[in-house]
Structures are given as C-alpha cells and as structure tokens.
Structure 1
Amino acid sequence: MDISDLFTSCRKGDVGRVRYLLEQRDVDVNVWDKWDSTPLYYACLCGHEELVLYLLANGARCEANTFHGERCFYGAASDTIRRALLDYKQVTPSSRRRDYYDEFLQRLLDQGIHSDVLFVVHGKPFRAHRCILGARSSYFANMLDTKWKGKSIVVLRHPLINAVAFGALLQYLYTGGLDVGVEHISDCERLAKQCQLLDLLNDLEAKCKEVSEFVASKPGTHVKVLSMRPPAEDPRLREDLALLADCALPPELRGDLGELPFPFPDGFNSCPDVCFQVEGCSFLCHKAFFCGRSDYFRALLDDHFRENEGLEASGGLPAITLHGLSPHVFTHVLYYIYTNHTEVPPEVAYDVLSMADMYLLPGLKRLCGRSLAQLLDEDSVVGLWRVAKLFRLARLEDQCTEYMAKVIEKLVEQEDFSEAVREEAAAVRGRQEQDSIPLVDDIRFHITSVVQTYSNIKEMERRLHALEDLLVSIGLDC
C-alpha cells in the first residue's frame, strides 16, 4: 500500500507526502513497479521539478547511458529537470537510516571482506566467498567441492572466459542484478549458459529486448550499459541465501521450526568460519555476513575476537558465546542477517527488538515494529508508542499516533495517555521555551489529514475538541 501511494504521490508531485513515505514509512526511494518504472521516472515525466530535486538528494539513482537514466532524461517534462539529471551525483544511502541489503552484498563483493577464494581471470583478480557462490549456483557448489576443493586461488585462462563478463556474473550471484557494457552481453550469456544459470539467461534476454524496443522508439538515446535489478518481490536471492541460515542452525533446532521453507540438499558444504554458542546450541555461521551487516559483530569478531582464540567448536571452528538471549531469538537474528527478512511473531517481537537494538540491526528493528503494530488497540497503543520512542521506530511511532487520532475520544479518558502527554510536554520545555508538544502535533496531523467531506469535518472537530479539553484539564496550552 505504501509503495502504491509513493508512485501515486510522485505522479501528483506531492513532495510532502513523498517525504512522509520515505522518511516516516521507510519506503525505498529506488523501488520499481511492474512497468520497470521508479518514483524518479514518474516525477520527471510529470514535470515536478521540486520533487525531482528532492528524490535525487535522497538517493534516487539516475546514471547516464543506462536504460533507466536515459528513460528519465528522455521523459523529463522540462529543461530544468534535464539539467538536474545531468548534474546528478549519486547520494549513497549511508546517510539514511536504512541498512540496504543489496548494497551490503555489493560491498561484500567489491571489498572481499572475509573472502576465502580468489579467482584470477586472465590476470584480473576477483575475491569471493564460497558460501555465496555455492548457495546461489549448483555449478559453483559442485566445482568448489570437487575440482576447486581446498584451493584458495583458482586461475581461469580459457579464451572464451571474459574478465568483465565474469565480474558481471559474480555481481549477479551476489546481488541478483548486474551492470555490464552492451558489448559484453554475449560473453555474459555464454558464461551464464556454462554455469547453468537459466534465470540469468532469461533475465538478460528480457532486458535486452526491453532496451532494444526503447532505443528504437526514442531517437537520440544511447544505452551503453545494461543494468538489471531484481524486482522487490523477487524471492530468488533471499531463498538461495536462506540456505546458509538453514545450514547454520543446530540440529536440535531444525525440528522445532517445523518444515523449513527452503530446500536443504544433502552434502552441501556452506564453509562456515565461526561458531556462535547460545545456551549450549552451536550456530555455524560466516563472518562475512555478521561483520558486514552489524557494527556490533564487526567489533566483536574483528577487533576483540582474539580474546576467544582458545575456544573451539566442533570441527575446529573458532567459537564465541553470546549471552542474554535464547536460541529461538537468535534464530530470528540469524535469518535476518542472511536474508534481510524473518517472520517475527508479535509474542516474541519485543525480545527480538531488544537484541536487534543491541546488535545494531536497524532493519530487524523495523521488522519487529511491523510485528508489534499488529497488537495495536485502545489498551496497548500508549505502551507501543513508548516502545517506538525508546527504540527510535519512526514508522511504528507514526502508526501509533495515527491510531490515537482515530480513538482519541476514548483515549483522553485514560490516565496513561494523559501521563504520556505530560511527559512529552516536560521533555520539550526542558530543552527550550515553546508550547508545541510533538505527540499532540502528530495526533492533530492525523486527525486533520483525512478530511474530505462535510461529515469528515464534523468528526474532525469533535476529535480536536476532545484533545483540546484534555490539554485544558491537565493545564497545558499548545
């Protein structure tokens, strides 16, 4: 619903609504719809200059000589927008609150953090991770367990293997997408066929057809780089990497979780390099994922792990004990780190949230916030709002205040709500002299934002009066 709202708001040019969806509802600024269009494309096409500038400043991608970049430029409704696109400088999402999963995987490939195999293709080195290659490709899994078994360096000199195409193939295995010059597409198709990556072959064929049709219908456009990104709902990458989490589970926990949603092939070696012990259960994991996704684990494993060098788990892996959580809670952490997703039942959401906050995993915190939002009712809304404030969950906080606006006439009779308003007022006045109370402002915003008919106006006035009467009764003027 939020994604659909984002596209609609971009077509309308509603900057305020777009800002709200990106900053409060955590919608991805580069999400694609079923027509392969982005929010930036619709803003350009509809001529909303202010919105285009806002999107570019907040991480919207628009690289020159790519299909999406050329499409935005060609469809731009004004010269001002075209100049803004030409001046485009990519803003990395590091300044945003999200921890982008695809960028983590790309960084893992680019930097080779904790890599355990080096491919040398006609003299060009590529550092990689056996666990990812094996999980994503049965061809690589077989080669790493047979011909390349035990080798830390694999040299490829075959004349039909192009280094650029091999790099693009690795990018696809790591991220589900790729960027490659159009002159190397045939090399990529040859490698994909050799490595039995039928999905990649099909994706390349479909994208080439799309680009060819676009260039033929838009004279003057030049696409030099083919860029592919998996749709947001595409489960293939997540399902493949979930295999690594499946393999990391202790045998005694696999039965407790019921039938696993992903296949668990016999004999698959995930090549773990670290063991986490939680209440006697051993999780066989990979430093690359834990260090790459969490500053907490990076400090624990890279900076202070030598303190635990004497500990070894079964199989000779270095081991480290984690305290203050159950194996069941850590299982949710595990699947999130590997797949960027986990189903968190509301009854355990607070426990997982506490660990996500400790382990510096903001994305997992947001998943917990979505789970807790299922508990929203008149009795729980104030408590959930406090949790949202404590853990800095902007979306859950906004959902709470939106719900408060709907039931404000009943809420004003509850002492815990009155106390929450008093605390907010005290916190503000402790900082500076002003009468505005954030909680009250947010509730007012949601009360007034749904007014469309005369009956809505009457309902809005009734709710606002209930809120004003409460403020007067507790001696607040704002």
Structure 2
Amino acid sequence: MDTCDLFSSCRKGDVGRVRYLLEQRDVEVNVRDKWDSTPLYYACLCGHEELVLYLLANGARCEANTFDGERCLYGAQSEAIRRALRDYKQVTASYRRLDYYYSCLLRLLEQGIHSDVVFLVHGRSLRAHRCILGARSTYFAHMFDTKWEGKSVVVLRHPLINPVAFGALLQYLYTGCLDVGVEHVGDCERLAKQCQLWDLLGDLEAKCDCVLPSTVASKPGTRAKVLTIEPPQADPRLREDLALLADGALPPELRGGLGELPFPCDGFSSYPDVCFRVDGYSFLCHKAFFCGRSDYFRALLDDHFRENEELEASGGLLAITLRDVSPAVFTHVLYYIYSDHTELPPELAYDVLSVADMYLLPGLKRLCGRGLAQLLDEDSVVGVWRVAKLFGLARLEDQCTKYMAKVIEKLLEREDFVEAVKEEAAAVTARQETDSIPLVDDIRFHVGSAAQTCSAMEQAERQLRALEDLLASVGLDC
C-alpha cells in the first residue's frame, strides 16, 4: 500500500521515493498510521533534515502548541530540524499545485521553449512568447498588434530600460512572482508604469514601504539584497489571465457556454502555432503550453510524429487530428493545460480521466479523482474504487475504502463487493492462506481509526466480525 511505502521511505530518508509518492501517486502528506504518527514525525525522529524541509514545503502540518507540532519538535534529532519546525508556515494543497504550475511557466521563460519573439535589451537577449505577454498585459498586446507587428526580434534601445529590470518584468508576467536586486527596484517601477502593470506597481510600492531599506532578504554570505514579490496563495490573477488563451483557442461554435468573455475572441490576437482538430472542430493552440505541460504532446509535436500532421490551408498552421477524444472532453484538457484548472462536472470525470491518463496529465487526473469522490454512494463505491486502482489515484482509492468502512455492513450483502475482495486476494502474488488482502486491510484500518468512543468501538467490533464472517464464507483467511 502506498501509505505504508510513504512511512517506510520517511524512516529511511528516501526523498526521491517520498517525492514520487506525494507528487505522482497523490498520497496524503498528513496521513496517519496506527500509532497516530505522521510522515513528518518519522522524518524528524530519524534525523532526515532534507526530507523534513521537503515535507514542510509540501503541506505537512506541525503548528505550534498542537499534538503533531510538539511531538515533531520533541522527537527532532538535530537543532537544524527544530529550527525548521519553529519557522514553519502552513502550505496548502492549492499552493502546492500552484507551485508545480509556476515551475512549468518558469521553464517556458528560462528555456524559451517554442518562443516566437526575442527582446534585445542593451546587448542582452531575452526569449519570450507573445501569447503569454499579450494575455497578461494590454500594453504588450497593443504593441504586438501595432509597432511590433510581425517582428520576431524587438530591439529596445531606450537608455532608461534596464535589462535586469526587464528580465524581472518578464518573470512577473510569466509567473506572478518577481525577484530583483534592490538597486533595480526603481527601474522595475518605471517599467511597470510604462507597461501599465498597475498591480505590479502597487506590489512594488507596498513591498518597498514594508521592507526597505533595512529588512530586505539577502542570501547568506553575500551583500546583494533582493526584493521578492509572491502572489497570495489564493490569488487568481495569473490563472485567469492565461485562461484567456484557452478562451481564444475554442472554436467559435463551442463558445456559447462560456457566457460573455472578457474580450472579443475574434479580435484577440493570441498568435497560435498549432491547430488540433477534434471531431471536425479546430482548436487554435500554442505548442509551448502543450509541450511544457505534457510529455505526450511534447513527443507528438517535438519528436515529429508526422502521420497525423498537415498544414492548414489558411495561415500555414500545423494541424494535428486528435482521435478518441470528444470536443467537450478536450475543452477541459485545454483549460487545464493553460490555467491548471477546469470546472469539471462529476458526470464527465470518467471520460476526462481516461484522456488525462492518455495525455500524461497527472494533475488533471487528480482533479478527476476529486470529481469522482463526489459520486460515492453504496451503489457506486466499488466501481469508483476499481477506477482509482486502475488509474493509480491513491487518494481516491483511500477515500473509497474509508467510505466502504462507514457502510461495510451494507456492502457485505453486495455481490460486487464480494467479487472485489476475491479479486484482491487473487492478485496477491504467491498468496499464502493467511496473507493479508490490501482492500480488507484498508477497510479494517478505517473501521478502527473511526472508533473514538465506547459505543463506536462496540460498533467497530461488530463490523469487523461481520467482515470476518464474509471472508470465512468465501474461503479466505487473512
């Protein structure tokens, strides 16, 4: 079971394995074992400082004056770990997702993947994407439609444009964050005014009032002081701006369900460079986003799988036909790729999940898992559990077994549940007569952990006896 693997890896200090379990298998970072211990507690107790820092940065909880916080602090094996625990600031799951999204956008900027414009600023070359700059700034959108129209290289010679400040400005447009030396703050404010980035200007002025000149963070061992701007955890601006590119990529026939868009799509220049054809509809998209977010599309577009490729008659766009996906499902893929989010109706979760797995989009699979979790009832829980196992959705699988534990007495009468238990037993390689069955173990765990009062313990004992009777009736002992 993935949770057992997580606890074992935390005791060993295997950061790579823990990272895989949290980021790819979607195991809950604050899960508890039968001793009421968390992964962070074991990492602290075994003295694995790097792992402690990783867990704290990815949502592990250890608030002061709480059971978990005091226990981790007491068990910490080094002063460095205790210091990290005292400096703890809670990181939510939504912030973790934003961090992955941020990393993807930062790679687009730093590596210039499929960039279509280069800025030359006093000898410094900066690659960028017109679609991102246009979506994030009306000033850049206007300039690309007028003075810079058709230019792949833009030379900025004005003496007041500082290349370091301009690079920081691009970082802000791509990620919503900004890191710049305090000596260049004035140059950034000047550029923010010129580019009509009033939110950035306000953030710069507020940050300067709060931290300059005495408390700006600096790297140990250096004199260079850096001003850092980060968006609040719930700040939707970046996601909403880049969702405009998904709005613009939609075929005109499919825009009716969106309501009134914040711009006229027909006049919005998003500079697409690839056309995906889905069931006769044309989605005008951007290679940078699809390659940056999905290994599947990176192979499709960068490795030149040419069997489905052709040039559009108008505009010379590369056109690729995508099969085994409907326009409605691809629309959700589109919005996820551009904005890291999509409003997914639970009834579409199965179809989107299958496509997300095919397109190698683990984050979208997790969104689908949350949608499927809303469908849990006595009739559906076994089917959803099977889907969770098939697609490797560990958190959804755990939610299913937790729900099964709540209604176990009713499930014992259902044929689909009995078949699931038999299949789990048969799937254990070289299973001996008394070996455990993962599904049964998980249900037992949740039944026991939910019993906190005497009456609940009596109910739990009754439920476990009924489960044992079922196992005995089908010839299983575990």
Q: TM-score range by the shorter chain?
A: 0.7 to 0.9
Aligned in 2, Cα 1:28/1:306: closer, same or farther, shift over 3 Å?
Answer: farther
Instruction: State how 1:227-306 maps to structure 2 within 5 Å.
Output: 227-255=228-256, 257-259=257-259, 262-264=262-264, 267-306=267-306
Instruction: State how 1:54-93 maps to structure 2 within 5 Å.
Output: 54-58=51-55, 60=57, 79-81=79-81
Aligned residue number for residue 473 of structure 1 = 473
Compute the displacement of 1:108 (Å): 0.5
TM-score by structure 2 length?
Answer: 0.79
Given residue 231 of structure 2, which amino acid in structure 1 is its aligned partner? Answer: P
CA contact (8 A) 1:99 1:363 kept: no
CA contact (8 A) 2:109 2:171 kept: yes
Aligned residue number for residue 424 of structure 1 = 424
Aligned residue number for residue 102 of structure 1 = 102
Aligned in 2, Cα 1:317/1:365: closer, same or farther, shift over 3 Å?
Answer: same
Compute the displacement of 1:253 (Å): 0.8
Q: Distance in 2 between matches of 1:322 and 1:22?
A: 31
Q: Report % sequence identity.
A: 73
Given residue 169 of structure 2, which amino acid in structure 1 is its aligned partner? Answer: L
CA contact (8 A) 1:120 1:153 kept: yes
Compute the displacement of 1:173 (Å): 0.5
Given residue 476 of structure 2, which amino acid in structure 1 is its aligned partner? Answer: L
Compute the displacement of 1:260 (Å): 5.0
CA contact (8 A) 2:433 2:477 kept: no
Given residue 238 of structure 1, which amino acid in structure 2 is its aligned partner? Answer: R
Aligned residue number for residue 36 of structure 1 = none
Q: Distance in 1 between matches of 2:45 and 2:211?
A: 25
Q: Which string of whole-angstrom CA distances, capped at 9 and with x for unpartnered residues, describes residues 362-400 of structure 1?
A: 111111111111110001000000000011111211111
CA contact (8 A) 1:313 1:319 kept: no
Aligned in 2, Cα 1:258/1:308: closer, same or farther, shift over 3 Å?
Answer: closer
Q: Distance in 2 between matches of 1:137 and 1:469?
A: 66
Compute the displacement of 1:309 (Å): 5.2
List alignment gaps of at least 5 residues for structure 1. Answer: 1-17, 30-42, 62-75, 86-95
Q: Distance in 2 between matches of 1:19 and 1:320?
A: 35
Q: Could you say what the CA RMSD is over the residues aligned between the two structures, in angstroms?
A: 3.5
Q: Distance in 2 between matches of 1:366 and 1:457?
A: 33
Aligned residue number for residue 352 of structure 2 = 352
TM-score by structure 1 length?
Answer: 0.79
Q: Distance in 1 between matches of 2:279 and 2:133?
A: 31
Q: Which string of whole-angstrom CA distances, capped at 9 and with x for unpartnered residues, describes residues 122-164 of structure 1?
A: 1111100000000000011011111111111111122221111
Compute the displacement of 1:285 (Å): 0.5
Between stretches 109-118 and 207-216, larger displacement belongs to: 207-216
Instruction: State how 1:312-461 maps to structure 2 within 5 Å.
Output: 312-430=312-430, 435-461=435-461
Aligned in 2, Cα 1:104/1:282: closer, same or farther, shift over 3 Å?
Answer: same
CA contact (8 A) 1:239 1:262 kept: no
CA contact (8 A) 2:28 2:395 kept: no
Q: Distance in 1 between matches of 2:116 and 2:336?
A: 23
Aligned residue number for residue 7 of structure 2 = none
Compute the displacement of 1:303 (Å): 1.1
Q: Distance in 1 between matches of 2:21 and 2:287?
A: 34
Given residue 240 of structure 1, which amino acid in structure 2 is its aligned partner? Answer: D
SS at match of 2:155: strand
Compute the displacement of 1:98 (Å): 11
Q: Distance in 2 between matches of 1:386 and 1:331?
A: 26
Given residue 400 of structure 1, which amino acid in structure 2 is its aligned partner? Answer: C
Report how many residues are paired.
420
Compute the displacement of 1:281 (Å): 0.6
Given residue 186 of structure 1, which amino acid in structure 2 is its aligned partner? Answer: G
Aligned residue number for residue 9 of structure 2 = none
Aligned residue number for residue 33 of structure 2 = none
Given residue 302 of structure 1, which amino acid in structure 2 is its aligned partner? Answer: D
CA contact (8 A) 2:49 2:80 kept: no
SS at match of 1:320: strand
Compute the displacement of 1:206 (Å): 3.3
Given residue 168 of structure 2, which amino acid in structure 1 is its aligned partner? Answer: A
Q: Distance in 2 between matches of 1:140 and 1:452?
A: 60
List alignment gaps of at least 5 residues for structure 2. Answer: 1-17, 31-39, 59-72, 86-95
Q: Distance in 2 between matches of 1:462 and 1:258?
A: 52
Aligned in 2, Cα 1:440/1:145: closer, same or farther, shift over 3 Å?
Answer: same
Compute the displacement of 1:213 (Å): 10
SS at match of 1:196: coil
Aligned in 2, Cα 1:262/1:454: closer, same or farther, shift over 3 Å?
Answer: farther
Given residue 151 of structure 2, which amino acid in structure 1 is its aligned partner? Answer: K
CA contact (8 A) 1:246 1:264 kept: no
Q: Which string of whole-angstrom CA distances, capped at 9 and with x for unpartnered residues, describes residues 427-449 of structure 1?
A: 11347897122111221222222
Compute the displacement of 1:469 (Å): 2.1
Q: Distance in 1 between matches of 2:214 and 2:456?
A: 46
Q: Distance in 2 between matches of 1:107 and 1:423?
A: 44
Q: Distance in 1 between matches of 2:125 and 2:361?
A: 32
CA contact (8 A) 1:99 1:362 kept: no
Q: Distance in 2 between matches of 1:375 and 1:426?
A: 28
Q: Distance in 2 between matches of 1:212 and 1:48?
A: 39
Instruction: State how 1:169-208 maps to structure 2 within 5 Å.
Output: 169-208=169-208
Q: Distance in 2 between matches of 1:20 and 1:443?
A: 25
